[in-house]
Structures are given as structure tokens and as C-alpha cells.
Amino acid sequence: TVALVHTVRVLLIVSAAPFLVAVLGGDGAVTRPSGTSAVDWGELALLGVTGGLGAWLATRLGLPAAAFFGGMAASALVHLAGLAEGSVPGPLLASAQIVLGASIGSRFRGMRASTVLRHILAGVGLTFLMFAVTFLFAAVAHLATGLPFVALTLAYVPGGVTEMGLVALALGVDPAFVATHHLVRILLVVTFAPLLLPLWRRFGGSA
């Protein structure tokens, strides 16, 4: 039940993000290189190999969203070192987004329509609440730092690291900015949740 509600939440967030950017308008990107030059086959092979090694290392270290974060970190190092100058070709990015959508949709296999509908309603309520809190904190951060409100909204909305990173990339928002925020959030939750759970139970909570 919990997994299904959170799956619905991620689905709604990913679906609503493009409309959110359209409503908010403006440039949501944090300053970054334009990356207009195409990646040649040599660079593409280098990014594939280093990305695979980065994903393997992140998995060994037990990092959340290891494949995504490891690949992102490896690509960043390769570009910072000047070994690659271009960007990943559009068809590859589109393929990744298709796979992401198919992966989210596949989580509903074997579910009865009535069960899915009930959890969709719960997920909708949860998503609206999360968006309200996200807008509040994004607005405060925007006023305090001057960073784009759209970028902050995508960085703060509680979706998955991989999902929100790809959504940011598709919408022209700096994916490294968004993904780093989500990675820090997950690391904080993983670190402090086991410490806070005993206190929650002590004061009458249940889990």
C-alpha cells in the first residue's frame, strides 16, 4: 500500500512538472554551459565507460540512486577535466525518458482498478500537500538567494533522484542542481530516520 501510494505520488509529480513550469514561466535554469556541440563517438564511449564505473563505485558505497548519481558524478569529472566538451545526444535522452515512464507504469501491474483508484486519490492528496510545502520553501529560498523559482521548486519537490533529474533535463533546468538537492535530502533521511524513529515511538507514534 505504501509503495503504491508513493508510486502514484512520483507519477503525479513527474506528470505535473511540465505544466508547473508552463504556469510559472520564466527561465528555470541555473547558470550552466550551453552544451550545444554534439558528442562524437569517442566522447560518447568515454562517457559510457566512466559512467558505468561511476555507477559501480556508487553502488559499492551504498549511495542512493547509485546508477544515476554515479554516472552524473563521472560525467562531471570527465567534463571538468576537459576530456569531453559536448552534450549527450537528444535521442539518448529521449530514450532514457521513455524507459523512465515505462518503469513507473510497470509498477501498477497486477493491481485491481478499484485498488489503484483508491490509492490514486490518496496520492493526489499527498501530492497537493507536498507541492504546497514545496512552493513555500522554494519562494523563501528564491527571495533569500535569487536563484530561479522553477529550479528551486524542482529541487525541493519530493520526487525520486532519477525521475526529477530527467524531468529537469527535459525542461531545461540544470539537472545537476536538482539531483544534488534530492541526493542530499535522501542522505539526510537515511541518516536521521533510524535515529528519530525511537523518539517517535516513545512519544506515542507508530510505524
pLDDT 10s digits, 132-147: 898 899 999 999 999 9
Q: In this structure, are residues 169 and 93 in contact, taking their beta carbons and an 8 Å threshold? A: yes
Going by pLDDT thresholds of 50, 70 and 90, the confidence category of residue 182 is confident
**Residue-level pLDDT at 125:** 81
Going by C-beta distance under 8 Å and a sequence separation of 6 or more, which residues neighbour residue 131? Answer: 16, 157
What gap in Å lies between CA 156 and CA 181, rounded to an integer? 7
Domain ranges of the chain: 2-34+90-195, 37-86
As given in the structure block, the three cell numbers for residue 53 are 564505473
Quick: pLDDT tens for 15-71.
777 777 667 655 555 545 444 455 577 888 888 899 899 889 988 888 777 787 788
| Phi, psi torsion values for 4, nearest 5 degrees | -70, -45
pTM: 0.61
